[in-house]
Amino acid sequence: MNRMMSVYCRKIGDISQIQTVMLDRDYNEIQAVCDALSDADVLLCKFHVLKYFKKKVSELVIPVPKKNELFSTLIQLVYVHDATTFDASMSKLEEKDACLFQYVSDNWL
């Protein structure tokens, strides 16, 4: 992956203007982009984040209405625009399902 990023950077030339890169959650990709484009911000694609969250919630052995409620809370986390709302949504998630809260804390923050 690092080699591919090196080739990419040589092909495009001036990489100093790249400010933001959007990726899915592939750690190797993220690391390669961070290594090659150290000044750029890396954002996770909302589509892929929600896809991972939906998969995780679907694996829970709980009633479907509870799954829908948890997924709805996770969607709120993805779309928040300020720290206060994010913290409130995380608290809400922790109240609803401590294990899922821990998963999000350990793997996404």
Amino acid making up residue 90 = M
Beta bridge partners of 22: 43
- CB distance 46 to 22 below 8 Å: no
- CB distance 44 to 25 below 8 Å: yes
Q: What percent of the chain has pLDDT over 90?
A: 59
In this predicted model, what pLDDT tens digit does every residue of 26-73 receive, in sequence order?
888 888 888 888 888 989 999 999 999 999 999 999 999 999 999 999
